[in-house]
Amino acid sequence: MDENNNQDGEQIVIFEEKITKVNGEVAIKRYQRGKFLGKGGFAKCYEATNLENKKVMAAKIIAKSSLTRNRARQKLVSEIKIHKSLQNSNVVQFEHVFEDHENVYILLELCCNQTLNELIKRRKRLTEIEVQCYVAQMINALKYLHNNNVIHRDLKLGNLFLNKNMELKLGDFGLATKLEFEGEKKRTICGTPNYIAPEVLDGKVGHSFEVDVWSLGVIIYAMLIGKPPFETPDVKSTYKKIKMNQYSFPDQVQISDSAKQLIQKILVLDPSKRPTLDEIMAHSFMNSGGTIPKVLPLSTLACPPSIQ
Ligand code: ADP
């Protein structure tokens, strides 16, 4: 990575990809680092412009010095391998990956309207038509993943991105796994406390695709009510509540009976009793009259949609 100043004294950061061709010639692709987008466990994320074609993307930059542990390296390799193999209109598009001696650079489709986490913080909660619209897009992404034997395992508001057209894009495949054979069960305890399914907490029984359906139920509740159902001040109490399936609907927030019923159908302890993605799409909450818009207007980033 090279750092320089432009005429106005602003810092310009360029990173380069060196490509050695079969004839030994070296080609160089240059990217200019732009606005800081956010920080994850290992990565810092910036806007990045390909200086050849001016295409603007998101660059996840991971310092190699943070990858000294074998587990961290394996996790990154797995994230790249799975994400690279995916292509769907509701999944953050993986564009390219390369490295220099300092960093690994993952170039992704830019989602400039942040995540549903920031949206809920700004708006407090969403209207039912908005929730229907986002759920339909999530189900499209999840059907695609599950048909390709991929379980996301970290579905949460913060991993649901919005691009410039307000299309929902599922991202962050750091905890995703690909099943190798039919009926395979996973035992790694992973996820984010508020969204984690009860069978994941009981590492002995094994888990599969149904963990994503559970998290979808938590997300639907959080979008409508404004906070996740099992939230407590400490992780241990949250896990206890999840294992006992202890949650309620606050009186202060009005939600429809069909919304409540759908959440109650999804948040059941026995994974085999949860609805399939098709059953969720066919539920009365998702078919309560008017057509669900394909995307929502940009104005809904700040205020509820106007009723037509
Ligand atoms: P990690 O895997 O290390 O947790 P994330 O994938 O969560 O990293 O990315 C960290 C932050 O970078 C996110 O919270 C978000 O703010 C931002 N980010 C990640 N991917 C994109 C993207 N495609 N477009 C815009 N911002 C992104």
Predicted-complex ipTM score: 0.95
194 pLDDT higher than 80: yes
Q: How far is the CA of 300 from the centre of ligand 1 (A)?
A: 22
What's the rounded mean pLDDT across residues 141-161? 98
Centroid of chain to Cα 71: 21
pLDDT band at 266 (very low <50, low <70, confident <90, very high): very high
pLDDT of residue 4: 74
Instruction: Tell me which of 2, 8, 100, 154 is the catalytic residue.
Output: 154
Q: Which atom of ligand 1 is nearest to the CA of 41?
A: 3
Which residues form the pocket of ligand 1, taking CB atoms under 6 Å from any ligand atom?
A: 37-43, 45, 58, 92, 108-111, 161, 171-172, 174
Q: What single DSSP character describes residue 283? A: S
Q: Tell me the C-alpha distance between 148 and 95, whole Å.
A: 19
Residue 308 in this model has a pLDDT that exceeds 60:
no
Size of the chain, expressed as the number of residues it contains: 308
pLDDT digits 0-9 by tens, 100-124? 999 999 999 999 999 999 999 999 9
Instruction: Give the per-residue pLDDT at 11.
Output: 83
The answer to whether the beta carbons of residues 263 and 221 sit under 8 Å apart is: yes
Q: What is the pLDDT of residue 203?
A: 81
List the one residue out of 257, 201, 253 whose CA is nearest residue 227: 253
Q: Which pLDDT score, from 0 to 100, does residue 183 have?
A: 94
Cα–Cα distance measured from residue 67 to residue 1, given in angstroms and rounded to the nearest whole number? 18
- Nearest-angstrom CA–CA distance, 57 and 17: 15
Residue 2 has pLDDT above 80, yes or no: no
> Taking residues 212-235, what's their average pLDDT?
97
| Stretch 285-296: mean pLDDT | 93
Cβ proximity of 190 and 175 under 8 Å: yes
What's the pLDDT band for 290 if we cut at 50, 70, 90? confident
Q: Helices marked H in 153-299 — which ranges?
A: 198-201, 210-225, 235-243, 257-266, 277-282
Q: Are 240 and 230 in contact (CB under 8 A)?
A: no
Rounded to two decimals, what is the model's pTM? 0.95
64 assigned ligand-binding residue: yes
Arithmetic mean of pLDDT, 41-59: 96
160 Cα to the center of ligand 1, angstroms: 10
C-alpha span between 131 and 129 (Å, rounded): 5
Judged by average pLDDT, the poorest of 119-123, 168-172, 180-184 is: 180-184
